[in-house]
Structure 1
Amino acid sequence: MGKIHATVVALESQGIMFVGPSGSGKSDLALRFLDQGAQLVSDDYVIVANEGGHLIARPPGTIAGLMEVRGMGVVKTPYLPEISLSLRCDLMPASEMERLPDGPQLVEMEGVQLPRIYLDASSASAKARVRFALQHLDALLSGPDQKGILS
């Protein structure tokens, strides 16, 4: 079981983890999802455990139901006590991202392979890219074909 500097939201039954350093936009992107019906699992730190081959994310007890909203402070908010993770989004500026990555985009966490995308949280299309990735998880797991196209 590991504690990770990340924010996790639940979009329907899918857990989305935003990973990045302080100021990278984890909470801001999560807030945009919450504004459209997603639920908070944990903000800033999350505990992740391999349970039966699934990555389960939970908030640390000290911050459960708390979210940092810049300019407002720490705010109490409804939250889910746990979610199975479907996608990891590593946040970074677009200028640092590989334009056409090779192979499957996976990261191993707690012995489980998890689909991963790289994302600029400040991009106007950030939410759309996350939703697109969730709709194409099989393609992320298998990677591009010989023409570099996700199937």
Structure 2
Amino acid sequence: MSSKKEKPTAAALRAQIEKLQEEIKTKAKALREEERRLETRKKVLLGVVLQAWVDEGKVSEAELQAGLDKHLKRKDERALFGLDPLPEAKPATPTPSTKKAEDKSAPSPPPTTSKKKPKTTSSQQETSEETTEKKTQLREAKQETLADEFEGLS
């Protein structure tokens, strides 16, 4: 009997490497799917909490709609919540380097001047300041409420 171990052949080693690479791919795919499933679960639970806050009056329906309108960009997502589609993006204007040679012969337009904002009346300014103050107070109250709720979860 021989006490020496036989050396694996190159073909056997390649087959073993291939098998291990396939195993790595399979496990990586399973890990990505699990991460995606957990991320989806988190989003669902956040939605449940947000809906409860709306039901409890901690977040107004208007604030929820404003948030949805601001953050949902895809047409199908916006439709799901009854939001109008976003306007189509305007095509980009050509930059000077992309203009054709014939455009170079045309005179360039004069530089644009900055436009001044129309003057606001004192009553408009007071209303704007009051609105800003109310928004700040509401934001602070929500932050306190959230902090209290999360402390209760710990």
TM-score (norm 2): 0.19
Which protein shows a greater Rg? 2
Write 1 or 2 for the structure with the bigger share of helix. Answer: 2
Write 1 or 2 for the structure with the bigger share of strand. Answer: 1
TM-score (norm 1): 0.19
- Greater relative CO, 1 or 2 (CA 8 Å, sep 6+): 1
